[in-house]
A and B are shown apart, each in its own frame.
Chain A
Amino acid sequence: MQKNNNQQPSKLRAFLSSDTFKGLLPVIGLVVIVIVMNILTQGKILTAKRLRLLLSQVYYPMIVATGVFFVMTLGSIDFTEGSTLGLASIVISKLSFYSIPLAIAGGILTGAAIGAINGFFHVKFKLQSFIITICTMYLFRGVCAYMTTESAVPASAAIKALDLNWLKITITVAVLLIAWFLFRFTRIGYDVKAVGAGETAARFSGVKTDRVKFLVFVAAGALTGLAAFVNVIKVGSITATAGNQLETQILISLVLGGLPITGGAKVRFSNIIVGTLMYTVLNNGLVMMGFESQTQQLIKGIIFLLFVALTIDRKALKVIK
């Protein structure tokens, strides 16, 4: 970066601080991570077999991240995904012996119910979402542990037979398409962004802020319930650790994908896809490079911290609702 004349560095700096560049940053990050991981693993990560494995790990986090994307756009946060996934997986497994559609509905309803509890306390009691969802996270983690103390909860053979790639891809793509449509082409997207950018002003502009917040939490729960179905057909039996630390995985994914932690108007729908892929590549790379799980956590923590520090919009900084 030699200073040839006065014009160039200032143009470069203007570009580096522009929103276009900030929007591209996660995509660049994804490419860099793929290249770096490919080099560090001597090309093993880009083999067909590995890619298939990678893809199989993307489905359910991407579905969950879609719901949480809306929650975080509100400027709120949700820590219940892990325990919701665990509990919904148990419900689905138990119901799978009666009827598959019933099992799917049961999973979605379980998630929606947990989302409704979060949303209710958040809206009616004006409690901050991260406090409520930490409480409910422990609560439902406890219920999961209780239901799996004797032994793991098995799912029926019928539901396990649905572990088909085309089905999982269809569900994931359908969720993304519907969510994208709602976000871009209906007032839902505008309402959610407005609440995240300035709640009182949004309310005074005609946004039914309480209803929007409640419904977003319910939807996020329901999507986690649907993700639990994808999880059950893959793993087949549910243990106490099902969905463990999923909430941090999703949070890191979305932030890696470029979602501002304060939510609001600068979120992009692509944050979900880029972020989930980035996390999965990173995670697999670290495993393949033979790091122990403690070291992996350490590295992930550092990368997360760096990303938050680099991408946070200090002008919009406020307490997470």
Chain B
Amino acid sequence: MDNKINLNKEKSAASKGKTLLVAEHIDKRFGITHAVNDVSITIDAGEIRGLIGENGSGKSTFSQMLCGIYSIGGGTFTLNGKQIHPRNQVEANNEGIAIIVQEMGTLSGLTVAENIFLGHEGPFMHFGVKDSHAMNREAQRLLNEYGFGRIKAGDMIDHYNFEDRKLVEIVKATYMKPQILVVDETTTALSQNGRLELYKIMDAIRADGRTVIFISHDLGEVLTHTDSVTILRDGEYIGTVRTADMTEDDLKRLMVGREIGSSYYRDDYGEPIADEVVLSVDNVSVPGQISNVSFKLHRGEILGFGGLSECGMHEVGKAIFAASWDRSGSVTLADGTAINSITTAINHSIAYASKDRDNESIIVNESIRNNIVLPSIDDLAAKGVLNERKLTAFADKHAKDMQTKMQNVQQFVSDLSGGNKQKVVLARWLGKGSDILVLDSPTRGIDVKVKQAIYALMADLRRQGKSIIMISEEIPELLGMADRILVMKDGVINGEFMRDPALSEEDLIAKMV
């Protein structure tokens, strides 16, 4: 292993600034969708290249072809002068390309070490028998080297939380010193600490003369952590720019293809919060998640919840909606109604959009129409009998109000992009006429254009007197949108901030960690 590092270092010294990867006329279709359309890119050794674009711009599809997850639809990838055609991730690894993905990329039921060496068990196999001891020792050495010594190689991966599992994945993707590391929207799943660890590793890879392709929706981190940025739009190559010459607005404009207004977030400050309380949460606890959480939500207020991803704030949203297992304490409306079941919550005007959009918010394998009508179905029935045309008209109206990009409401949600799925979720609750909206990570994995629309909608709802609880891992959107922010740490509320232009990210982070 040591020899290999030296070899790489020697090579990198010679190849600084040299072309590493040439992608020519890369193409990919999914059915009628032209996901990647004749994209040609050149990437140098020793750079961090940002790859940005709105949802559906083809950036993930492009990089996943490079990593052997999708088959290459057309064109060629040339790495160090040699054409490559990885048919799966292990082949891509052997060519020197590795990827870290947004969602869970480790396998439950295996140990940390087994996950790290998945597909590369060879060195630890003796006549078909695995030497677990040697594997654990090597894995632990790697974990220590990365500074993740608290993670034990011999433990089952299931013992660790999402964040730690992500760190294991980072080790898995980088220990073999890949020539190219693709980081595909990994940071949205990470807390501030985890992000810092990842940036350190990216910088180390660059210092070593190797390359990172960094895909992210967070343009702030793209600007601070990349050398150059390639922009894709609707599957087509738009251009590559030097990061140093760019501002966030420049990038947004290139991504969207038009000027984005300056009012991204709300721009009002100093409006008082109404005294009228619409929802009281008292001493709510969920074992192992949150303990004794109490707060009040006011009429026309956007109440933000921030914290690290495991701080319990996501469970607060579920608890209000009565979707937690084993909740104690009380959630009551202004009129004294206790919210103890999802049905009561929905019928008393509470809406909930989960962070896990595809599994908990929306029924992916169902039509847009049926997703929108589901909570309102009793209201739409006459003596229990439904009229299909009425349902279709109802869904059509609310989907169109949200400007959902679709053929018609009979289309399945599985065909839609993340941003449009979220629009369907919001259309459903606006259709129900909910007055209290609990939105967990409302803009997670959503592109700039839809994000802007969602912020505008939230500001609009607030003006109408609706109350919103916004749970978010993105500090800028908390600062930009909330009237009041509660910061959570280890399952309890650890700080409260009022809306203020002087409030900074650091103020919030100080209460999170």
Contacts and interface: CB of A to CB of B under 8 A. Distances in A.
A198 B371 CA distance: 11
Contact of A190 (B343, B365, B373, B384): B373
Contacts of A197: 363-366
Contacts of A193: 366, 370
A194 interface: yes
B7 interface: no
B377 A265 contact: no
Interface size of A as a range: 20 to 34
Contacts of A166: none
B374 interface: yes
Contact of B346 (A185, A190, A202, A206): A206
Interface string B469-498: 000000000000000000000000000000
Nearest to A201: B363
Interface in A1-30: 14, 17
A52 interface: no
A204 B359 CA distance: 10
B93 interface: no
A316 interface: yes
B378 A202 contact: no
Most chain B CB within a 10 A radius of its CB, from A184, A190, A194, A197? A197
B66 interface: no
B374 A205 contact: yes
Interface in A232-282: 264-266
Contacts of B377: 187, 190
A194 B413 CA distance: 13
Contacts of B428: 205
A201 B386 contact: no
Contact of B323 (A194, A204, A208, A316): A204
Nearest to A10: B32
Interface in A176-211: 184-187, 190, 193-194, 197-198, 200-208
A49 interface: no
Nearest to B354: A204
A206 B434 CA distance: 13
A187 B346 CA distance: 16
Interface in A41-72: none
Contact of B343 (A187, A194, A208, A315): A208
A184 B388 CA distance: 8
Contact of A205 (B347, B371, B384, B386): B371
B363 A187 contact: no
Nearest to B378: A187
Given A186-B381, A186-B384, A194-B374, A203 B342 contact: yes
Nearest to A186: B384
Contacts of B78: none
Interface in B330-386: 342-343, 346-347, 352, 354, 359-367, 370-371, 373-375, 377-378, 381, 384-386
Across chains A and B, which 8 residue pairs bring their CB atoms closest together, nearest first? A198-B363, A205-B374, A265-B366, A197-B365, A197-B366, A206-B346, A206-B375, A201-B363
22 contacts: A186-B386, A187-B384, A190-B370, A190-B374, A194-B363, A197-B364, A197-B365, A198-B359, A201-B360, A201-B362, A203-B342, A204-B321, A204-B360, A204-B361, A205-B375, A206-B343, A206-B346, A206-B375, A265-B365, A265-B412, A266-B365, A315-B365
